């Protein structure tokens, strides 16, 4: 079964490079045979290949082929890729048979950029750079150069049943302490208080515990982590207590990314994604609301994670200049296609902030609130947040929550890993 666009958001914070040391993926690259390079177009037009991962929403494949066919300056052949898409891309980039244009979660990896596998799109984007949501485009910028153009945005937020909170006499929580107390207040013998996954929220909430404490992945000079701080230690202790509290639902009929636990009445509050909004609306009507993740501590802030599949141009493509022109045409100029891509196949937010009101699913209610959350409270990955750092952080979080380890000591381990990793990457 193919997966919807939300897939990469389930790994927020762990989206750094798929390994670049993969073996080549063979000749099935989506590029036509040389003898057929002008098929479907005139002899003086370049032929470009464009890769997408396999989307789960109905209609997406037909839509992207329709967009490509509308471009008159090149023949664009779309390749739909099932399977482990990130590995396919990483392998293809090591060969001479690369896709001219390919999408990638939150832009190319730092390894791709440093290896010269992708093209600088700063001038391609030009003055339109300011039209894109700042937290969405930030992960695509390295050394003040833009390496991808966002296609559409996904995000996560906290859904709650209004009637359950009203019955318990509590307001939608604005702090982690209020969330813990509200979860206990709304819990009944048949319904849990708060659900964020069958691992107790360790996977999906990890990054939010940093951002909601008012901290960042990395420090200001990008030499180490930015959360080796008392605010983080205290927040982790709070989260540790939440995992031992009976208000947290640790096991449900589906995982956090599925709306079933909320809809079925298994939980009064659930952390999940924008993609379930239509299903929740159909099932609960007006009996739900949405909020960002609550603040942690006195210096905390509301936060939501964001992510965007983005269009990248390969350096070894047949015609990088023609590929850049196509990417600009599709993801900067053709706003009608951009709205269609975000609004007609599932529920997503157009990458350009001005286009959100044109997406009818975001025009009012919870959809409109979600679009506002991205602009005001959105956070995305950092190119220097490598898989090794993510693994160290995940281990630390698990040790604190499950083994009652000391938060300060565990974060210190993450700091040592991060310092070595950042030095390696910048070496």
pLDDT value of position 220 = 94
For 77, the enclosing helix (H) or strand (E) is: strand 75-81
- Proportion of the chain in helix, strand, coil states, percent, rounded to 5: 45, 20, 40
Same-domain pairing of 168 and 301: yes
Q: Look at residue 42 in the predicted model and tell me its pLDDT.
A: 53
Q: How many CB atoms lie within 10 A of CB 111?
A: 19
Work out how many domains the chain is built from and give that number: 2
For residue 43, the model assigns a pLDDT of 60
How many whole angstroms separate alpha carbon 83 and alpha carbon 379? 28
Last residue of a domain, one of 305, 329, 361: 305
Is 399 domain-assigned?
Answer: no
269: three-class secondary structure by DSSP: strand
Separation of alpha carbons 175 and 195, rounded Å: 16
Phi, psi of 70 (to 5 degrees): -80, -10
Regions of the chain where pLDDT drops below 50: 1-3, 5-8, 10-41
Task: Tell me what pLDDT residue 222 has.
Answer: 93
Helix (H) or strand (E) holding 159: strand 149-160
Say if residue 315 is in the same domain as residue 270: no
Q: Are 179 and 45 within one domain?
A: no
Residues 209 and 272 in one domain: yes
Q: Which domain covers residue 265, as residue numbers? A: 155-305
Per-residue pLDDT of 13-39, as tens digits, reads: 433 333 222 222 333 323 333 333 333
Task: Please tell me the distance from the alpha carbon of residue 328 to that of residue 323, in angstroms, as a whole number.
Answer: 9
d(CA 350, CA 425): 32
The tens digit of pLDDT for each residue in 55-68 reads 988 999 999 999 99
Q: Is the domain of 228 the same as that of 244?
A: yes
pLDDT for the residue 24: 29
């Amino acid at each position: 079964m193919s997966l919807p666009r939300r897939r990469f958001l389930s790994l927020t914070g762990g989206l750094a490079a798929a390994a670049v040391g993969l073996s080549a993926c063979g000749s099935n690259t989506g590029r036509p045979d040389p003898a057929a390079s002008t098929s479907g177009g005139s002899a003086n037009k370049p032929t470009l290949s464009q890769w997408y991962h396999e989307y789960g929403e109905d209609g997406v494949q037909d839509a992207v082929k329709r967009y490509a066919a509308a471009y008159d300056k090149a023949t664009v052949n779309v390749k739909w890729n099932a399977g482990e898409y990130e590995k396919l891309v990483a392998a293809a980039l090591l060969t001479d048979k690369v896709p001219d244009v390919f999408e990638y979660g939150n832009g190319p990896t730092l390894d791709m950029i440093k290896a010269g596998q992708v093209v600088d799109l700063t001038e391609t984007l030009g003055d339109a750079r300011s039209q894109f949501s700042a937290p969405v485009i930030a992960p695509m910028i390295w050394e003040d150069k833009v390496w991808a153009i966002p296609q559409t945005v996904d995000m996560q937020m906290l859904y709650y049943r209004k009637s359950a909170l009203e019955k318990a006499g509590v307001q939608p929580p604005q702090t982690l302490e209020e969330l813990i107390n509200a979860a206990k207040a709304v819990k009944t013998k048949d319904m849990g208080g708060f659900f964020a996954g069958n691992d107790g929220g360790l996977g999906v909430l990890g990054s939010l515990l940093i951002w909601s404490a008012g901290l960042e992945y990395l420090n200001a000079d990008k030499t180490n982590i930015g959360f080796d701080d008392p605010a983080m230690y205290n927040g982790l202790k709070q989260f540790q207590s939440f995992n031992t509290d009976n208000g947290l639902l640790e096991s449900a009929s589906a995982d956090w990314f599925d709306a079933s636990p909320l809809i079925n009445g298994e939980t009064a509050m659930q952390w999940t994604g924008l993609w379930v909004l239509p299903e929740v609306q159909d099932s609960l009507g007006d009996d739900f609301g949405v909020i960002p993740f609550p603040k942690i501590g006195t210096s905390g802030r509301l936060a939501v994670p964001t992510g965007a599949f983005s269009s990248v141009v390969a350096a070894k493509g047949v015609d990088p200049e023609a590929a850049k022109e196509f990417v600009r045409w599709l993801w900067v100029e053709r706003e009608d296609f951009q709205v269609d891509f975000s609004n007609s196949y599932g529920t997503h937010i157009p990458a350009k902030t001005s286009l959100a009101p044109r997406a009818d699913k975001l025009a009012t209610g919870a959809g409109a609130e979600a679009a506002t959350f991205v602009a005001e409270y959105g956070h995305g990955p950092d190119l220097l947040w490598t898989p090794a750092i993510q693994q160290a952080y995940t281990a630390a979080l698990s040790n604190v929550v499950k083994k009652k380890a000391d938060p300060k000591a565990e974060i210190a381990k993450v700091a040592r890993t991060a310092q070595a990793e950042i030095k390696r990457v910048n070496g």
